[in-house]
Structures are given as C-alpha cells and as structure tokens.
Amino acid sequence: MNTIRIGCGYDVHRLVSGRALILGGVKIPHPYGLLGHSDADVITHALCDAILGAAALGDLGRHFPDSDSRYAGISSIKLLEEVIQKIASSGWKLGNADITLVAQSPKIAPFVTEMEKNVSDACKVSVDQINIKATTTEGLGFTGTSEGMAAYAVVTIAPVRS
C-alpha cells in the first residue's frame, strides 16, 4: 500500500452571539461565534474529517463524540493533533491540505498566516504544506446571510515509510 491517498472533509456550524469565533485555532474579533460542543472551529473540523477519511478511519464524530463531556469546549487544534497521531498509528502522514472557508464575513486574510502556522504545527508538517483560503457566496444561502459558516478540506496522505 505504498501510495498516496486523498481525503475530503466538509463541516458547517451555526453563527450565534455570545461565542468566540475560532478559525484555524485563531480567535478572530467578530460580533458572532460558531456554536458547537467543542470550540466549533469549522476549518479544523473539515480538515480532521478529510485526514480521517483519507486513512479510512471514519470521521471526527466517531473518534470524539459530542456526547462526551471531555470534549466540551476543547480546542479543535488539540483534536487535530490527536487525529494526526491516529493516522500515524496506521502508518500515514499528512502530505498537503487545501482548505476553503465559506463565510460572508469577516475577512480572514489578516489571520491566515497564523492559522496556517497553528495547523501545520498540529500536523507536524511544514507551513508550505497547508493552504487556507476563503470565499463568500455573494450573499446567497446560509453562509451568505451569515446564519453559519462552512468549510471544505482536501488532503493527501502518504505512507510514513516512503
């Protein structure tokens, strides 16, 4: 099985008042934050699901159920570190990741460098193996009305010994 594999991940969280907005492990000044059992970091959740999918290890909910109080309010970057350990136990390492945030606001460009650093540190890869970008939906749909945010991630993984 000496080959590269691909995984994709998708996640959505609702935007509410009274929650911090955490994206890629960065706290971003914004009047609304994402609602969820953990810190609801939609970028990191999509990435975790893509990595688990590439390794045929299921999904985030299977490994970190939201019925488990240990994960209440947890930093999703910590979950990402655990996901990387899980694929390493199966003989895989992250190749690269390309993540797209879908959000009407705020502009994340000023925070992308720090997000990519957080994510690459958690994945134990070089920062040039991680790309985070964003798009709006031109006001259309639940992301366009700022009811929520979505994120897509695509990754490759490679055997540790290659």
Q: Phi, psi at residue 67, to the nearest 5°?
A: -85, -5
Minimum CB separation of residue 64 from Mg ion in Å reads: 10
Q: Which is nearer to Mg ion, 27 or 160 (CB)?
A: 27
Q: Which is nearer to Mg ion, 64 or 92 (CB)?
A: 64
Q: Which is nearer to Mg ion, 39 or 116 (CB)?
A: 39
Rule CB under 5 A: is residue 11 a binding residue for Mg ion? yes
Other C-beta atoms within 10 Å of 98: how many? 16
Minimum CB separation of residue 108 from Mg ion in Å reads: 17
Rule CB under 5 A: is residue 41 a binding residue for Mg ion? no
Choose the stretch contacting Mg ion; rule: CB under 5 A; options: 45-53, 95-103, 120-128, 134-142: 45-53
Closest residue to Mg ion, judged by C-beta, is: 45
Rule CB under 5 A: is residue 22 a binding residue for Mg ion? no
Question: In the numeric block, which tokens belong to residue 70?
Answer: 């240990």
Please state, in angstroms and rounded to a whole number, the distance separating the CA atoms of residues 97 and 69. 29
Q: What does the binding site for Mg ion look like in residue numbers (CB under 5 A)?
A: 11, 45
